[in-house]
């Protein structure tokens, strides 16, 4: 495969951009080789600067749930553009999207739009602290909530991929208020709560974590967290930046029937534009400025183009519930296909799968938390990634990420993915 133009651009980019990229995992450091530079995307495909075509299994890290460059989104954006790109003043569309989010996501009674998942989680923690008058919060090891200071402690995603789960630049003062627990252990939460009685403002987690690969909640775990938080007056925050509008129209909270006090959203909510949101119980959200004293603002928040893209996406997902049946079917075929091939070839690697998210771990041990995820052979994953890329399949360039499937993945493409997988598994083990 000729990737000479990507190579040239990557070398050139080093002169102007740290590491040549605007988000670390894109640099392919964890998988070796050099990143491919993307020129355009359409449906299930992305095309690089050398005009190679790849079948997409990341979909911009989640947002493109109905495939790239979908007519619905493109037309909504073009139409909105006709009227100007930003006003910095309220618009009718912001009310429409707020109403729609509230009708779809069980925990959200009021919602504030921001520009990224990072902003959503940072703001949600601030509001929970303002609401409870407490400073500390609990975070799970290996979960990623964006790059806000207080979250870059035992962080997943790129932070672990780059070997910096605890980032330099985060002060000891900040870090001391972030309490860590392993995912899927209610005992660990009970211990933290006991040791910090009356001091914990919030417990934030990815209900179905996708930033240490993919792990699933054990039966009763989310319900248990709900009970503890209610008992202790702790604000339970589900970070559904990945899972929101993906695992079901109302996210993981709808799927598992557990309603948190607050929810953070991103990715799909912007239809591919930079959007995030946080929302929750009225009583809590009424603390947000100007309704209340907790300050949070944004020059481009509620941007008209971004809102048009998000609204088109959410309206579609809300009206076409069959999207989820279709997605689950696609995802079942991919994940079962991969497991069948592995079995035939004699490799007993763990595959975690829920809805349209899945992850193949290069370990034969079950993965249910950060420690078990770290047992994966990341060097072997790197080889697998390269073998798949060479065969035109674009995966997340790290073991510690989930894959996100889209409705654009037709049966013949699934067959191609599975054939590439079979060949790649043979190649990397020979
Ligand atoms: N929370 C979760 C669960 C995420 O997966 C991410 C990003 N992958 C974020 C927060 C941060 O979102 P953003 O990259 O838009 O700041």
Q: Residue 352: which H helix or E strand, with range?
A: strand 350-354
Query: How high is the pLDDT of residue 165?
Result: 79
- Write down the mean pLDDT value for the chain: 97
Q: Which helix (H) or strand (E) holds 81?
A: helix 71-81
Helix, strand, coil tally for the chain in percent (to 5) = 40, 15, 45
**Nearest-atom index, ligand 1, CA of 143:** 3
Q: Is the CB of 144 under 6 A from ligand 1?
A: yes
Measuring CA to CA, how many Å separate 314 from each of 94, 96, 270, 306, 345?
13, 11, 9, 12, 41
Report strand pairing: 136-140 vs 235-239. Answer: unpaired
Instruction: State the DSSP string of 11-42.
Output: HHHTTTSGGGSSSGGGG-TTT-S-PPPEEEEE
The token duo for 112 is 């504030």
* CA 143 – ligand 1 centroid, Å: 10
Tell me whether residue 144 is one of the annotated catalytic residues: yes
Q: How far is the CA of 292 from the centre of ligand 1 (A)?
A: 26
Q: Using a 6 Å cutoff on CB, does residue 251 contact ligand 1?
A: no
What ipTM was predicted for this assembly?
A: 0.99
Using most ligand atoms within 8 A of CB, pick from 240, 241, 246, 403 the residue to mutate for ligand 1.
Answer: 241
Among candidate residues 144, 221, 278, 368, the one labeled active-site is 144
CA 138, 141, 142, 146 torsion: positive or negative?
positive
Domains and CATH numbers, the chain: 4-69+321-429 (3.90.1150.10), 71-319 (3.40.640.10)
Ligand 1 atom, smallest distance to 62 CA: 8
Q: What angle do CA 15, 20, 25 make, to 5 degrees?
A: 165
**Helices H / strands E in the chain, number of each:** 15, 14
Cα–ligand 1 centroid distance for 60 (angstroms): 12
Q: Is the CB of 263 under 6 A from ligand 1?
A: no
Q: Is residue 252 within 6 Å of ligand 1 at its C-beta? A: no
Q: Which of 255, 253, 407, 396 is nearest to 328 (CA)?
A: 407
Residues near 170 by beta carbon (within 8 Å), at least 6 away in sequence: 149, 150, 152, 153
In total, the chain counts a number of residues equal to: 430
Yes or no: say if 205 and 239 are a contact pair by the CB < 8 Å rule: yes
pLDDT per residue rounded down to tens, the chain (430 residues): 899 999 999 999 999 999 999 999 999 999 998 999 999 999 999 999 999 999 999 999 999 999 999 999 999 999 999 999 999 999 999 999 999 999 999 999 999 999 999 999 999 999 999 999 999 999 999 999 999 999 999 888 777 777 777 889 999 999 999 999 999 999 999 999 999 999 999 999 999 999 999 999 999 999 999 999 999 999 999 999 999 999 999 999 999 999 999 999 999 999 999 999 999 999 999 999 999 999 999 999 999 999 999 999 999 999 998 999 999 999 999 999 999 999 999 999 999 999 999 999 999 999 999 999 999 999 999 999 999 999 999 999 999 999 999 999 999 999 999 999 999 999 999 9
d(CA 31, CA 217): 28
267 catalytic residue (yes or no): yes
Q: Sign of torsion, CA 204 208 213 218?
A: positive
What count of Cα atoms within 13 Å lies in the side-chain half-sphere of residue 75? 4
Residue-wise pLDDT tens digits, 145-198: 999 999 999 888 777 777 777 889 999 999 999 999 999 999 999 999 999 999
Count Cβ atoms below 10 Å from residue 35 Cβ, excluding itself: 22
What is the per-residue DSSP string for 59-72?
TTTTT-TT-BT-HH
Looking from the CA of residue 276, the nearest atom of ligand 1 is 15
Q: Which residues pair with 356 in a beta bridge?
A: none
Per-residue model confidence as pLDDT tens digits over 230-276: 999 999 999 999 999 999 999 999 999 999 999 999 999 999 999 99
Return phi, psi of residue 382, to 5°: -55, -45
Cβ proximity of 259 and 106 under 8 Å: yes
Output the CA–CA distances (angstroms, integers) from residue 188 to 26, 38, 147, 185, 203, in the order listed. 34, 43, 25, 5, 12
Token pair of 89 as six digits: 């003043």
Torsion of CA 82, 85, 86, 90, to 10 degrees: 40
Residue 244 Cα to ligand 1 midpoint, Å, equals 11
Catalytic residue among 110, 136, 139, 267: 267
Q: Is the CB of 118 under 6 A from ligand 1?
A: yes
Cα end-to-end span (Å), the chain: 21
Q: What is the DSSP letter of 301?
A: T
CA distance 382 to 28: 9
407: closest CA among 338, 343, 342, 322?
Answer: 322
**Annotated catalytic residue: which of 239, 261, 278, 384?**
239
Residue 384 is among the residues annotated as catalytic for this protein: no
The helix-helix angle for 304-319 and 92-104 (nearest 10°) equals: 30
In DSSP terms, 41 is beta-bridged to 46
């Amino acid at each position: 495969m000729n990737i000479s133009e990507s190579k040239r651009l990557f070398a050139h980019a080093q002169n102007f951009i740290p590491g040549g990229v605007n988000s670390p995992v894109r640099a392919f450091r964890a998988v070796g080789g050099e990143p491919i530079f993307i020129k355009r995307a359409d449906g299930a495909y992305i095309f690089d600067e050398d005009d190679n075509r790849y079948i997409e299994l990341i979909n911009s890290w989640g947002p493109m749930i109905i495939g790239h460059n979908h007519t619905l989104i493109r037309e909504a954006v073009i139409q909105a553009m006709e009227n100007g790109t930003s006003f910095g003043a309220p618009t009718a569309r912001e009310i429409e999207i707020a109403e729609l989010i509230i009708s779809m996501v069980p925990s959200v009674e009021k919602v504030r739009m921001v520009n990224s998942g990072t902003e959503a989680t940072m703001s949600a923690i601030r509001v929970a602290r303002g609401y409870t008058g407490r400073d500390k919060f609990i975070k799970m090891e290996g979960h990623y909530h964006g790059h806000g200071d207080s979250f870059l402690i035992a962080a997943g995603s790129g932070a672990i991929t780059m070997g910096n789960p605890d980032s330099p630049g985060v002060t000891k003062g900040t870090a001391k208020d972030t309490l860590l627990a392993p995912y899927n252990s209610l005992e660990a939460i009970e211990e933290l709560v006991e040791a910090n009685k009356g001091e914990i403002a919030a417990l934030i987690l990815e209900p179905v974590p996708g930033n240490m690969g993919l792990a699933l909640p054990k039966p009763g775990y989310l319900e248990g967290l709900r009970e503890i938080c209610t008992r202790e007056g702790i604000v339970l925050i589900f970070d559904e930046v990945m899972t929101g509008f993906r695992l079901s129209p109302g996210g993981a909270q709808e799927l598992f029937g557990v309603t948190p006090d607050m929810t953070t959203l991103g990715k799909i909510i912007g239809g591919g534009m930079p959007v995030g949101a946080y929302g929750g119980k009225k009583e809590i959200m009424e603390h947000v400025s100007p309704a209340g004293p907790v300050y949070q603002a944004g020059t481009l928040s509620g941007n008209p183009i971004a809102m048009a893209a998000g609204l088109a996406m959410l309206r579609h997902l809300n009206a076409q519930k069959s999207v989820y049946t279709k997605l689950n079917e696609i995802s079942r075929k991919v994940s079962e296909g991969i497991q069948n091939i592995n079995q035939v070839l004699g490799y007993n690697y763990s595959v975690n799968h829920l809805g349209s998210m899945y992850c193949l771990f290069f370990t034969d041990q079950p993965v249910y938390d950060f420690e078990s995820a770290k047992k994966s052979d990341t060097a072997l994953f790197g080889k697998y990634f390269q073998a798949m890329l060479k065969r035109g399949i674009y995966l997340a360039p790290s073991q510690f990420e989930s894959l996100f499937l889209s409705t654009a993945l037709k049966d013949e493409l699934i067959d191609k993915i599975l054939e590439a997988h079979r060949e790649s598994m043979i190649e990397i083990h020979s």
